[in-house]
Structure 1
Amino acid sequence: MTADCLEKILMGHRVPSAVPAALREELSGYERIPSSRQHADAASGSFHSLLRTSGSVSLAHPATICLASYLPSEADALRLFDYYKNHLDYQYHLVVPARTKRDIHALYEAIARGESGDLNQIALLFSIIATALFYQLLSTDSPDVAEICSRETVFLAGAALIQSNYVAYPTVEGLQAAMIIGHHLSSLTLNPSVSSLFSQGGLVSQAKSLGLHLLDCPQVVAARQEKGFDKSEIELKRRLWWDLASYDWLVGFLSGPQEWTYTIQPQHMNVRRPLNIEDDSIGNETELPLSTPTCMSYSLHRLRLAEVCREIVDAGAPHHLQGEEITYEIILDLDRKLQQAYSELPTFFRFDTSSRRQFANIYRGRPEIAWQRALIQQAYHSRLCRLHRQYFIRGAKDPKYSYSHVVSLQSARKVLEIKRIMDEEEPLFTPNSSFFWAVMHHVFMAAVILLIDVCFNWDDILACKRKEEVLDACRLLSRAQQSSAVARKCINAMMDILRRHWKQEKRPVSSGEMQAQLTSSPGLPFSVLHDQCAIPAAKNVQDSKGFHFAGPEQVHNLAIHDQPIEFVSSELGFAPLEDLWGQMLDESAHIALDTPEWMDLLTELTNATAPDRVNDPGAIE
């Protein structure tokens, strides 16, 4: 429950209704652009025109603003596009570079002739500029300027969409613009007058208006063949649709208001999967095998993971909606599906020594393949960790669930190991991986899992080593706090709640009392529940990636810890994250898990994630 609540807080800036009200107000607070020369110098030269006034571009009315006057020079626009193409597009691959570059040239040629230019192309260009500028400025240690400039530029992209009447008459370029902003920039740092254009629900609605979900229906294909069509545009549409579907299914298995649900139904669409080909091969219809790396490899394997997440949602939602616990047999069946999908990853997305050596030249020549390898590996391990969360603590106490305990710890450690590889091994992420919400979200939750395990198994023979392991994870989070304003605010919000509740009176708890409470207290948040589920036999899962998953029969000898636990008084005050967690670890042997204060902590964390319901007396929790 605690891990679930903290996850909602961390991902709040991606799903606005999930974030605490105070934090949401702080993150979405509107700031005027500073007029000082130092801020103008810190920003890219392409946006000197944006910063030259003492006011803010987004104070203007979006329907009347002269967009062409805020465009950078063509050379600056192309430089920012190259940065986006080389360092950001690999995550979602929403553009065909040659096609977009051609549109940029056409836009500036039209403006040179005195024309206003295609508004949807302007929106796409501003979305690329906003994203590239944001990460460029973060990389130069200018987070405040990065947020301000990206917010202002996103406003210009939104203004272009509004002036083109995009909602009523959507276009492919307009959808690309909205998806780029929706994926790469926090929804709570956007100007409220245009932010609704970039929500996931709006993106799916506009894609349907364009008919992307019907792209390969027989009647549509027949009409396309009769009239003629651009093969690159059709393939681009497939990529856009499946990216929306992947994201929709992935977030259905993350905490927040969208948890246990999704919007895009597989039965309600007819769209071929994107081809595994390079961009310059679009049109020849010769697809490469999945064992061959292309610019679409990551998107296709991300889609495979998303499909498993959709199956998890389908299996878990009926139980969740009825207030029932998902049985352990279902968890193990879903685990097998995740493990199977993981085993299908191609060699170039693996971390074992032979794979690294085999593809070393490709990683040097195409660093995005190495970066995608880290992202997909981290994504799988974080989902395995999350799938077993429900039985994680029980597995440390009851051998019947010990598989979940071991897999959770194993996956959490792999998430943290991959983050260290991202930070230390060539080719290094550019920009730094700590700037990406998805990466730090996985790291944060992995750290929480390790923290919870130490608190519940404080007398483990390797307790000192495991405490240091948690502190190492804290250091990763601390570095992210220093580089990302959104991560800093979200993590600080979580720590504020923990800080308020970490002030309890010491109350000894006897061994007999603790045992009685463990077996009788229905409200115990992490009680050791016993049922008749048995783990079916399964083999070790170990592939050439060098990552190992223990089978259930290998973990029954796990040490069981039933020692009494008690609370002590602790005045944390304001201190670095590592100091706070260190003190919590030092006092983990004194936490009384059955105290009302512990339940108050969980309640507050839960309420903080649903600000619209906290003050509603009729709300059913």
Structure 2
Amino acid sequence: MKRKSAHESTTPQKQPRQDPVSCESCRKKKTKCDRQVPCGSCKSRRIDCTYGGNGPVAPSPVATPVDQVGDVPCNSVTSSQPIQATEASRESVQTRSTEDPLMTADRLENILMGHRIPSAVPSALREELSRPQPMQATRSRPHKGTAISSFLTMIRDGGYVSSEHPATVHLASFLPPEDDALSLFNYYLSHLDYQYHIVVPARTEQNIRYLYRALARGWSEDLNSIALLFSILATALFYQLLSTESSEVAENCSREMAFLAGAALVQSNYVAYPTIEGLQAAMIIGHHLSSLTLNSCVSSLFLHGGLVSQAKSLGLHLLDSPRVVAERQEKGIDKAETELKRRLWWDLASYDWYKPSLFYHRMPFCSQSRPRLIGFLSGPQEWTYTIHPQHMNVRRPLNREDDIIGIETGLPLIMPTCMSYTLQRLKLAEVCREIVDAAAPYHLQGKELPYETVLDLDRKLQQAYSEIPAFFRFDQSSRRQFATLYLQRREIAWQRAFIQQGYHSRLCRLHRQYFIRGARDPRYSYSHVVSLQSARKVLEVKRIMDEEEPLFTVNSSFFWAVMHHVFMAAVILLIDVCFNWDDILASKRKEEVLDACRLLSRAQQCSSVAREGINAMMGILRKHWKQERRPITSSGTQARQPSSPGFDASALHDQSDIQTAGHVEDSKTVRFDDPEQKHDQSIDPVNSELGQIPLEDLWSQMLDESAHVALNTPDWMDLLTELTNATVPGSE
């Protein structure tokens, strides 16, 4: 308040109302305003953004401490003096980077009481504040360090941007510095892109650089490019943080980044006006992360059905129809973009027919990855698929490197390129679709698939497998021949492992119904042999992933589909021992099962994803593990056995080991609080009130009791079906 002069009235005057800090549109609609020019809300609605009074200034009721606002001191300001800035403050403000006017304004705002800030800011800074604001890495409460570390700090502090409405989020404020964004983009290209090659690196990098230049110069935001960048950041952060942080931190951070990608799609009105960049963003999240944990406002954008619908809206399923080809030739559309569209469409088709094989933590974020054909798995989608081959006209992608993507001729399939794995996965997907077409009528009518049909489908799988290029094979000759290639292009060695697991896991799945019968009936012996061979191959591939160069930079145990295949292969070997416990090679087969169990144990130790999934599958295995009553011993007592269902942990050790009730001495000695209840308790294989029991001990017990397991054909088929469904750990 100004000092009154002598001739002025001494009557108290009502203080003028503070000028509004929100724009007029946001005040009328009572929505949150980010106080930019124009604000994000008006920009998304494409209306004029006007302010009253002193403009878009956000007052703060209290001063911010020195440790939060940097080197600007917290000077007190009295109402009886004009607002003055010290000479030191002026020098500090004027020398501050021109790329940081918003943060400087916030500091001055906290010091100089909000609505009076325009009169106190130096003229040079006022000119900067009148321009559109460049992006910032953090929100109103800045953190120390890079944008990514600040984002992690916000997550640890319980700050979740996903609690906001996606249409009002100020997206640019969450973008990391350009160098950090490009670093994570390179991480994505090196460690994740080889699974689903749906971006052209040079094209996407150019879009990212252009995005940052546009934002720095105050140009309008390209929301679809922002969505693509956030989707890449979400995926790269998830796997990068799994190696340094807990799985909870990795999942929370990736979930928030994925929400920002969804918010960008919402603000761009992507559903009504889809774009290639928006579709790429949705596909990256749909392939690599789990939409089950996302805010419901954006989760539907990343589901497979929505991806297919958006691709059709873009006309990707008609790319090579005569009418579209004629229009393309007339307008001279970019050939490289047309080839990219083919890649996107066939990726969706192969995903539909042969659900990719690297499932992560809670996927389907659908779906967390790898070769799984949706229609060829148990569950509500079993024996169905979405994309019908007669309802599209799209040429297959060419076997070409990205730098010559626009050339209309491809290289022979025997030559390795960035598209080799995609094309081989597509070939396997087509065989899986044929399996669904042949088997679905029988399964949907409750009939058993004839063995002749199984053999015919087996021939198709074997034929496709025999046509795999040599650099995707695991025989000694091929491994020696392409050893140098694997070191130069690590992704080809990793893709080789995935394609091998994809084929052999499906052979096991195809012959499952006749697996046990083949051990007793010579008519079905081929199914028994193929199932065992394929299960052993899956385990061998996992050992190569863990032990041979080039090692997976993102440990293969983080990919749930890999570990799911390994667990299923181990169970196939276990069931074989149970049905052939008196075989002459029984001891050797038991050791083979224990070796597989050790693979699972090592995966549990290095990956929380694998640990959660294996625990879930062990619960299913325990539920189905029933034993017959043992014969009476010569001493007149019944031999010990666990109750059904469930394991009796005391059966792992002699009674002489139990000395004190209610005590767990070590991992090899389990104590019970009440010895009378030990046969009535159902023990969780890993996290029980009795303490943690090593996985190898549980499997050893199952092998020791294998002669007394009461599994008939329906029982073990139900077991394998439920284990197949356990591809989304923690989603129940």
Normalised by the length of structure 2, the TM-score is: 0.66
Alignment of 1:85-164 (within 5 A): 85-164=189-268
Instruction: Measure how far apart 1:481 and its partner are.
Output: 3.0
Q: Which residue of 490, 494, 506 maps to 1:367?
A: 490
Identify the range of structure 1 (338-347 vs 226-235) with the bigger mean alpha-carbon deviation.
Answer: 226-235
Match of 1:405 among 498, 507, 528: 528
Shift of 1:74: 0.4
In structure 2, relative to structure 1, the CA distance for the partners of 1:259 and 1:601 (3 Å cut) is closer
Please tell me whether the aligned partners of residues 572 and 580 of structure 1 are also in contact (alpha carbons under 8 angstroms): no
Supply the AA of the counterpart residue of 1:216: D
AA partner of residue 587 (structure 1): E
In structure 2, the CA distance between the partners of 1:67 and 1:497, relative to structure 1 (3 Å rule), is: same
Residue 235 (str. 1) matches residue 339 (str. 2): yes
Q: Structure 2 residue aligned with 1:474, among 597, 601, 625?
A: 597
1:254 to 371, 377, 384: 377
Secondary structure (helix, strand or coil) at the match of 1:91 reads: coil
Distance change (3 Å), C-alpha of 1:284 and 1:599: closer
Tell me how far apart the structure 2 counterparts of residues 324 and 137 of structure 1 sit (CA, whole Å): 47
The structure that has the greater radius of gyration is 2
Return the alpha-carbon distance in structure 2 between the equivalents of residues 604 and 368 of structure 1.
32
Deviation at 1:195, TM superposition (A): 1.6
The match for 1:591 is: 709
Assess, with a 3 A threshold, how the Cα gap between structure 1 residues 459 and 367 changes in structure 2: closer, same or farther: same
Report the CA distance shift for 1:345/1:269 in structure 2 as closer, same or farther (over 3 A): same
* Residue among 578, 581, 585 paired with 2:696: 578
Distance 1:41 1:344 in 2: 52
Partner of 1:28: none
- 1:301-320 residue pairs with structure 2 within 5 A? 301-320=424-443
Letter in 2 for 1:431: V
Return closer, same or farther for 1:129/1:599 CA change in 2, 3 Å cut-off.
closer
- Mean CA deviation greater in 362-371 or 492-501: 492-501
Q: Partner amino acid for 2:243?
A: S
Alignment of 1:357-436 (within 5 A): 357-436=480-559
1:317-336 equivalence runs, <5 A: 317-336=440-459
Asked which structure has the greater RCO (Cα within 8 Å, sep 6+), the reply is 1
1:353 partnered with 2:457: no
The 5-angstrom pairing of residues 292-303 of structure 1 reads 292-303=415-426
Distance in 2 between the 1:419 and 1:608 partners?
21
Equivalent pair of 1:40/1:51 in contact (CA under 8 Å) = no
1:337 matched to which residue of 2? Answer: 460
Bigger mean CA deviation after superposition, 430-439 or 171-180: 430-439
- Paired position in structure 1 for 2:328: 224
**Per the alignment, in what secondary structure is the counterpart of residue 194 of structure 1?**
helix
Whether the aligned pair in 1 keeps the contact of 2:147 and 2:177 (CA below 8 Å) is no
1:267 pairs, out of 373, 380, 390, with: 390
- Between the aligned partners of 2:533 and 2:627, the Cα distance in structure 1 is 32
1:291 partnered with 2:414: yes
Partner residue in 1 for 2:167: 63
Shift of residue 271 of structure 1?
A: 0.2
**Aligned equivalent of 1:186:** 290
**Contact in 2 for aligned 1:276/1:287 (Cα 8 Å):** yes
Residue 84 of structure 1 is matched in structure 2 by 188
1:59 Cα deviation from its structure 2 partner: 1.1
Q: CA deviation at 1:455?
A: 1.4
Structure 1, 440-449 or 289-298: larger mean CA deviation: 440-449
Amino acid in the other structure paired with 2:456 = D
Measure the CA separation in 1 of the matches of 2:144 and 2:516: 52
Q: C-alpha separation between the residues in 2 aligned to 1:363 and 1:222?
A: 42
Aligned pair 1:460/2:583, yes or no? yes
Instruction: Give the RMSD, CA atoms, in angstroms.
Output: 2.9
8 Å contact kept, 1:46–1:72: no
Aligned residue for 1:470, secondary structure, equals helix
Q: Does 1:445 align with 2:568?
A: yes
**Structure 2 portions without partners, runs of 5+:** 1-142, 355-372, 633-678
Q: Deviations over 1:507-558 (max 9, x none)?
A: 559xxxxxxxxxxxxxxxxxxxxxxxxxxxxxxxxxxxxxxxxxxxxxxxxx
* Structure 2 Cα separation of the partners of residues 70 and 42 of structure 1: 11
**What is the rounded CA distance, in whole Å, between the counterparts of 2:282 and 2:220 in structure 1?**
21
Residue 290 of structure 1 deviates from its aligned partner by 0.4
Matches within 5 A, 1:12-27: none
Superposition deviation, residue 469 in structure 1: 1.5
What is the alpha-carbon distance in structure 2 between the residues aligned to residue 339 and residue 226 of structure 1?
44
Classify the secondary structure of the residue corresponding to 2:296: coil
Cα distance, 1:491 vs. partner? 2.7
1:280 aligns with 2:384: no
Q: Post-superposition shift, 1:115?
A: 3.2
Q: Secondary structure at the match of 2:376?
A: coil
Structure 1 pair 608–87 and aligned structure 2 pair: CA distance change class (3 A): closer
3-state SS of paired residue (1:111): helix
Q: Which amino acid aligns with 2:352?
A: D
Q: Larger deviation: 418-427 or 47-56?
A: 47-56
Q: Secondary structure at the match of 1:290?
A: coil
Identity of aligned residues (%): 77
Amino acid at match of 1:72: P
Offset of 1:147 from its aligned partner? Answer: 0.8
Question: Contact between 1:497 and 1:601, CA under 8 Å: does it hold in 2?
Answer: no
Q: Which one-letter code corresponds to 1:193 in the other structure?
A: C
Secondary structure in 2 matching 1:89: coil
Q: Deviations over 1:233-267 (max 9, x none)?
A: 11111001001100111121122221111110000
| Alpha-carbon spacing, 1:504–1:452, altered in 2? closer, same or farther (3 Å) | closer
Matched residue SS, 1:105? helix
Decide which structure has greater helix share. 1
Residue 86 (structure 1) shift: 0.9
Structure 1 residue 445, shift from structure 2 partner: 1.4
Secondary structure at the residue paired with 2:553? coil
Shift of 1:192: 3.2
User: Equivalents in 2 of 1:448, 1:390: separation in Å?
Assistant: 15
Distance 1:336 1:151, change over 3 A: same
| CA pair 599-227 structure 1, distance change in 2 beyond 3 A | closer
Q: 2:279 aligns with which of 164, 171, 175?
A: 175
**How many Å apart are 1:118 and its aligned residue?**
0.7
| Secondary structure of the corresponding residue to residue 324 of structure 1 | coil
Which residue type is aligned with residue 694 of structure 2?
P
Deviations 1:104-159 (A, max 9, x none): 01110111012352111111001100111111111225322111111111111111
1:600–1:222 Cα change, 3 Å: closer
Instruction: Mark the CA change 1:43 to 1:338 in structure 2 (over 3 Å): closer, same or farther.
Output: farther
Q: TM-score, normalised by structure 1?
A: 0.78
